């Protein structure tokens, strides 16, 4: 797969099939915007990440480079961010408060249908194994809601975050996001 070279400047924008032009502040932001737009106007979700990079690299062939088959954002190491979030969460585990299983389940169902979910496990097998280990320790005795993708907006692992009693978040999150303030 060809992706933009992170060391070169490229306009972060994408023209959708319906000719709507989306502009992002980062590649991750642009992907979120395209996903949200398609969900909002009931268009098929497609694969915004792949479509954006294909279009950008077709228009700027000299500014892209080959990367592994795993889908990895050139400017956003989601796997590292998620692992760091899990590590920080584990470090503060004594102060963690958990919500009820019913609420965690409800949240997990919302995340499961969220257009902001992004694959990250394929980017680094060791990171995925470490993340699973931390998750198993944090959620000992609790139900695991399987979710192979991560929250691309909050850079968190929803398998764990749905269980945590955390303050709501301000910002550009989907209207039905359970973390939205």
The verdict on 89 binding ligand SF4 (CB under 6 A) reads no
Cβ proximity to ligand SF4: between 86 and 177 the closer is 177
Separation of alpha carbons 107 and 163, rounded Å? 8
Cβ neighbours for 84, distance < 8 A, ≥ 6 positions apart: none
CA distances from 174 to 48, 117, 156 (A): 16, 11, 15
Cβ proximity to ligand SF4: between 89 and 153 the closer is 153
# of chain residues touching ligand SF4 (CB under 6 A): 14
The verdict on 35 binding ligand SF4 (CB under 6 A) reads no
Contact pattern from residue 113 through residue 152 relative to ligand SF4, giving x for each residue in contact according to CB under 6 A and a dash for the rest: -x-xx---------------------------------x-
The verdict on 38 binding ligand SF4 (CB under 6 A) reads no
Among 1, 90, 96, 110, binds ligand SF4 (CB under 6 A): 110
Separation of alpha carbons 139 and 65, rounded Å? 40
Shortest distance (Å) from residue 130 CB to ligand SF4:
21
Q: Which stretch in 78-86, 91-99, 110-118, 137-145 sits in contact with ligand SF4 by CB under 6 A?
A: 110-118
Cβ neighbours for 80, distance < 8 A, ≥ 6 positions apart: 124, 127
Pairing of the two strands 21-23 and 13-15 = antiparallel
Q: How many helices (H) does the chain have, and how many strands (E)?
A: 6, 6
Q: Which residues of this protein are in contact with ligand SF4, per CB under 6 A?
A: 110-111, 114, 116-117, 151, 153-154, 158, 173-174, 177-179
């Amino acid at each position: 797969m060809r992706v933009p070279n992170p060391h070169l400047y490229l306009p972060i924008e994408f023209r959708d099939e319906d000719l709507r032009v989306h502009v992002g502040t980062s590649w991750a932001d642009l992907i979120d915007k395209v996903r949200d737009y398609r969900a909002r106007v009931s268009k098929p979700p497609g694969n915004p990440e792949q479509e954006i990079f294909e279009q950008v690299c077709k228009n700027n062939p000299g500014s892209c480079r080959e990367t592994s088959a795993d889908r990895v954002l050139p400017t956003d190491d989601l796997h590292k961010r998620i692992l760091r979030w899990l590590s920080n969460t584990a470090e503060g585990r004594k102060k963690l408060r958990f919500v009820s299983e019913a609420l965690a389940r409800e949240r997990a169902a919302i995340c499961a249908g969220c257009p902001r979910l992004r694959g990250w496990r394929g980017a680094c097998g060791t990171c995925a194994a470490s993340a699973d280990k931390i998750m198993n320790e944090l959620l000992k005795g609790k139900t695991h809601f399987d979710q192979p993708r991560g929250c691309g907006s909050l850079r968190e692992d929803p398998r764990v975050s749905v269980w945590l009693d955390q303050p709501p978040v301000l910002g550009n999150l989907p209207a039905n996001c359970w973390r939205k303030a």
